Structure 1
Amino acid sequence: MDLVRRTIECPFCGHHLHISIEITDEDQDYIEDCSNCCNPIHLRIHKDDLHHSVQIFVDADDEQYY
């Protein structure tokens, strides 16, 4: 497992947050609260072995997926 540090932007208030992500072989899906506005941020992490990269998807927790 690797530890990756990234800066993301809160989808609610635009505040920049520094997060640490533990990269695993499986996709991750979790909620982290914004330290500025306290709204829940939905994070999805995908490890792309083919391109040797990590994709981080950030959106508001109240958005729906179809």
Structure 2
Amino acid sequence: MLIPADVTCPYCGEPIELLLDASAGEQAYIEDCPVCCRPIGVHVSVDEEGEPRATVSGENEA
């Protein structure tokens, strides 16, 4: 099941929507910003209720 999540691109500052897969558990991947095309690091974690949460970072951020 894909769940939409609103995040902000760390490069251009534009709001974007990601689709998170709660069934995949914790994951990390790279997704290009649909506005500025820069690579965004996406880290997805799942809370106790099974809801996914996304944090994003630029390539030079830890």
Query: TM-score when scaled to structure 1?
Result: 0.78
1:25–1:47 CA contact under 8 A, matched in 2: no
- Measured in 2, the distance between the counterparts of 1:40 and 1:25 equals 21
Moved over 2 A (4+): none
Task: Identify, as 1 or 2, the structure richer in helix.
Answer: 2
Q: Identity of paired residues, percent?
A: 30
By relative contact order (CA 8 Å, sep 6+), the higher-ranking structure is 2
Q: CA RMSD in A?
A: 1.4
Listed as ranges, the gaps of 5+ residues in structure 2 are: none
Find the structure with the greater CA-based Rg: 1
Listed as ranges, the gaps of 5+ residues in structure 1 are: none
> How many residue pairs are counted as aligned between the two chains?
61
